[in-house]
Amino acid sequence: MAMVLRKLVLFVFPFYVFGQELENKTYRIEKIEENLVTIDGELDEAIWRQASPVLLDYETNPGNNIKAEAKTILRMAYDNENFYFSFEANDDDPDKIRAIITDRDRLDDNDYVSIFLDPFNDSRRAFFFSINPYGAQEDGFYDEQSGNSDLTWDAIWTSKGKLTETGYSVEGAIPFKSLRFPNTGESMSWRFFGFRAYPRSLEKEFRTIPIDQDNNCLLCQADLLSGFTEINSGQNLEFTPTLTLNRFDENLDFPSGSLQKGDVETNLGLNARWGIATNVIFDLAINPDFSQVEADDAQLDVNNRFALQFPEKRPFFLEGNDFFSTLLNAFFSRTIADPSIGSKITGKIGKNAFGLIYAKDRINNLILPGFQESKNISVDENVSNFIGRYRRDIGENYNIGFLYTLRDTENYYNHLGGFDFFLRPYKPLVIRAQYLHSKSSYSDSVTEENGISDSDVTGNSYNLNLNYETRNWEGALIFENRTSGFRADAGFVPQVDYRRYRLYVERKFWPKEVTWYQNIGWNAGGFRRESTLGVLDFEGIWTSAYFNGPLQLNLWVNPDLVWQRFNSTTFKLPRFWTGFDIQPTGNLGINGWVNLGPAVDFVNTRRADNLQFRIESDIRIGNRIEMTLNHQYQRLHLMGNTIFTANLSQLLAAYNFSTKLVFKTVAQYRHTLRNPELYMDEVNAVDRSFFAQLILSYRLNPRSVLFLGYVDNLSGFENTFSNQQFELERMDRTLFFKIGYAWRP
Three-state secondary structure string covering 162-230: EEECCEEEEEEEEEHHHCCCCCCCCCEEEEEEEEEEEECCCEEEEECCCCCCCCCCCHHHCEEEEEECC
The confidence score (pLDDT) of residue 297 equals 66
Q: How far apart, in whole angstroms, are the C-alpha atoms of residue 190 and residue 284?
A: 29
Q: What is the pLDDT of residue 719?
A: 83
Assign 505 a pLDDT band (cuts: 50, 70, 90): very high
pLDDT higher at 483 or 365 = 483
In this predicted structure, the answer to whether residue 2 has a pLDDT above a threshold of 70 is: no
Which residue in 391, 375, 419 sits closest to 143, CA to CA?
Answer: 391
Answer for the pair 187, 159: CB distance below 8 angstroms, yes or no. Answer: no
Over residues 41-65, the pLDDT tens digits come to 999 999 999 999 999 999 999 999 9
* Of the ranges 253-257, 465-469, 713-717, the best mean pLDDT one: 465-469
pLDDT digits (tens, 9 = 90+) for 113-161: 999 999 999 999 999 999 999 999 999 989 898 888 888 888 999 999 9
Q: What is the mean pLDDT of residues 695-704?
A: 92
Q: Rounded to two decimals, what is the model's pTM?
A: 0.89
**Band of the pLDDT at 306, cuts 50, 70, 90?**
confident
What was the pLDDT predicted at 6? 45
Q: What is the pLDDT of residue 450?
A: 81
Q: Which residues pair with 331 in a beta bridge?
A: none
Domains in the chain and their CATH numbers? 23-228 (2.60.40.1190), 304-496 (no CATH)
Average pLDDT over residues 183-195: 89
Contact 215, 396 (CB under 8 A): no
Examine the pLDDT at 15 and tell me if it is beyond 90: no
Question: Any idea of the CA torsion for 433, 315, 698, 271, to the nearest 10 degrees?
Answer: -160
Q: Can you give the C-alpha Rg of the chain in angstroms?
A: 27
Residue 5 has pLDDT above 50, yes or no: no
How far is residue 651 from each of residues 72, 100, 325, 464, 732, measured CA to CA in Å?
A: 37, 19, 32, 40, 20
676 burial class (0-12, 13-18, 19+ CB within 10 angstroms)?
middle
Q: How would you label 218-253 residue by residue, b for 16+ Cβ within 10 Å and e otherwise?
A: bbbbbbebebbeebbbeebebebebebebebbbbee
Q: Is the pLDDT of residue 14 over 50?
A: no
Residue/partner pairs of 57-61 with CB below 8 Å, 24 or more apart:
57/206, 57/208, 58/206, 58/207, 58/208, 58/209, 58/210, 58/211, 59/204, 59/205, 59/206, 59/514, 60/205, 60/206, 60/207, 60/210, 60/211, 60/213, 61/203, 61/204, 61/205
Per-residue pLDDT tens over the stretch 214-243: 998 999 999 999 999 988 777 789 999 999
What pLDDT, on a 0 to 100 scale, did the predictor assign at position 392?
95
pLDDT at 703: 87
Calculate mean pLDDT across residues 709-713: 94
